[in-house]
Structure 1
Amino acid sequence: MTSGPHPDLVSEVRAALVAEADPDRAAGQQRYMKSSMPYFGLTSPRLKAVLAPLLRDPGLAMVSRAQWEATIRALWDDATHREQWYAAIALARHRPYRPRVDSDAMSLWERLIRAGAWWDVVDDIATHLVRDTVLAHPTVEGLRMRDWAASDSLWVRRAAIICQVGARDRLDQELLSDVIEPNIEDPDFFSRKAIGWALRDHARVAPEWVRAFVAAHPDLSGLSRREALKHLGPLS
């Protein structure tokens, strides 16, 4: 069974991204993202269009879980441009490999979160790969998210806070409380923004619960409070 990365997929992805490079756009993207890693300059729709035929090519398919994980790591670890990170996430999220998005892959997602350490990659991983695993395995992953909420890494903590964004009525309110409360006094913008985002998203299906949560936590930062109540109006 093949356990190393798929060399052809890695090389095809790299070549396709180089071929699509737009240096002018790349410079603007790098400034906007405040990224030390450069961009090739692909728009999000163009990136998806470039990657889609490569990910669908049967000749470039992953023959084993080990190869899938190794290829994700190869695209990520050897990346010279940020779109290569995005390609690694696209491979992770590719529909045929969805059965592999499970508890066994969570250590890999944490590794990518720690290495990426910025909102674009962290949020994509957290609100798709991590979320899907939490929803599929709520007991064991609920415990993991509570551990992540106390992590030494801001970005792992942020991932725990937002890991149920998009879950709608499948969201575990007790888990949401448990990952927010240890971080309420965190002064970092990205933590406070994450709290507000998670609450605002849940307000779409449980507005009264969110109102009650905000009212019960007067120590929430102004940013978290404003974001949580953005579509609800002020508390009475």
Structure 2
Amino acid sequence: CILMCEGMWTKLRELRYLAVGSAPYFDTPYGGVQTIKEIIALALTEAGMTLNASYGNDSIVHTHTPYFTINNPPFESLANLIYRLIMMTKTYMRPEASLVFKIIYPQSSDSVNETYYSDQAPYFKEYTEKRNLLIPNDIKVYWGMNTVTGEWDATALASPGSAVDQPSIDSYTTVRWVFLASDLTSQADANLRAAALLQRYKSETLAGRLVLPYHDCSVELYDKVEVQDSRG
């Protein structure tokens, strides 16, 4: 007997969202009515999966109603569809038991899930960390494109969404990246999108490597881990 195991993200990469729209393209626009969370839940239903009722609140995922077209690009996987949606937010998705996904919103104020020590159990053998430069540290998001003519509104161009990390700029220099969000219709939403993008880059500045003398299967993706090293 051979047991074949497949992860939930792998399954989502195999499947296409063909439950809506019509042949041959199956492209369906969501016109600013359903929230990001609701569209993700619909996509998961196509794969026989569900979304956990409890989720992190980043003031975007459960309130923002994007102008969003499914299968654009054509015949995208469910994983790609969900990735495009979740990247509009500050949240992440974690697969859990019983084909359930949970939306996670990591914050510095989160309680610690696991602590490892150099002088008491649970021990760690080695820990190293590195903090990288935050690049970019200045995000501009342009919004307000007319979806019929393709022209950008002059007023919107003069007031793009913005998110800046001033301490990073002060310690290095301004590194500005520009993003286009033709689906957004207000500067407030553009500011939220810019903040979400910057937050994702900030989350990647600290990299760590922790070596344990055993396999700790209790730690999950996006858990908060603390390391206490008293060796000086």
Tell me the TM-score normalized by structure 1.
0.25
Higher RCO (CA 8 Å, separation ≥ 6 residues): 2
Q: Which has the higher strand share?
A: 2
Q: Which has the higher helix share?
A: 1
Tell me the TM-score normalized by structure 2.
0.26
